[in-house]
Structure 1
């Protein structure tokens, strides 16, 4: 009997111990490696020109002319930044740009929020058509209305304390109004879609408590739109700050031109020091980088809102 049990036990295959189950987190996700590599390559492609400009601005022109821009540096200095700021008169142009960009951004967001609230939160007849009208304004090429606006601004009178030329032409008002008109449609489109994601119960509760339309907009809806407003403020400031077309057309006084025109002062008639020009370009880009860093948290919140539920 004992021999039979041993024979049977020897013929039955032994069960292997079950391997511990691997958690989903420990499994390699091969698909993400490709995504990370692709995003890294795209990021480097976008940031490479900026890094090259910073690298060139720290080197003397004679060194890069002899050894090339991708050679190892022998001497690095900030002398080009000092020269770019003083030789181009950049401080005056910075002030001119702020006088144009800051009012244009504030007025654009203020007016766009009114229209977006009326279209998305109020039961406005023809609201969708109105939204399509503002959105279609972004499809109009800017060059089409350059000549009509030039003639119109020369005929609109302004008092002496608003314009030295006594007309809309050759004043900051012309550039501000044009930027407001062209940026309004995009802001209305973004804010209207953002306001539609807000819970309707909030306004219904406010209406029950006796809140009027102004209270619904100013004290309830607008504070909830802070991420979207911050994201739009960052984009709008960058676009208006970098604008060169409208200022070149509607401003004839060189002392009123924005910062983008100051780079032209660094170009010589017969010779251009591109390292000096690179330093000036980096200085011009610093305010937009500063605005992004100040509004970074709200900017990212505005971009990612609605990506997750709950």
Structure 2
């Protein structure tokens, strides 16, 4: 007989303040996760992974709001209501949403899509957009208000967003799928998998031939999303006048490359690599916006959908 499951909503909102600039004007980076799970599961510890990765990405402090305690001492707590009732925090935030949360993340997304200038959508947030036309429309229109979005789907999530695709079709046509999705939703797209593809409307799709099988472990995608959020926060501070989509593209390329390179260095032969180990030992790259992306440009005909 199955034990009765007591569903516990865990909302994690991590306030990431860049370590080198603690002045009052420094932009915030907000890491948002919403998760539902059975009582007794270590959801708080699981969802600390993006927070740890964000610290490695350059965040000075990470504040979480949760109904459960976290075992990670580096992560501090803050009431959820405080953040949601202070829109100025969201107005200057970099938000990562969807690393867990199930269907309940759908309730938070309208506010985030309307408010956060820099938004990364992963996992459950992507699935919520795929099944809700109003969220899809709000996402597509964000670029008209100088707000940028990075999507980080694996092939199945990409297929759901594309509509009439199957996961195996995405996998067989990765460049076409990523490019079509980027143009359809006006977003930077990181199509995860062996040889992650990063593409932005109007730019060449680019392949990152880094990483190995050690990344095929639960939590590694959460680590990438958190790391990307921390990097994007730093880039937005370094180039405050730059368009958000430009820093989004830079953050996506940089995070994918160094996330993969970190895995190669920690697990050179593809040995088992725990996501927490990866999160704590990510390599932080130098911030030089003039450096070329460490990726391979794909054929020019893939610029358009």
Higher strand share: 2
Do they fold alike, i.e. is TM over 0.5? no
TM-score by length of 2: 0.23
Structure of greater Rg? 1
Compute the TM-score of the two structures, normalised by the length of structure 1. Answer: 0.22
Q: Which has the higher contact order (CA 8 A, sep 6+)?
A: 1
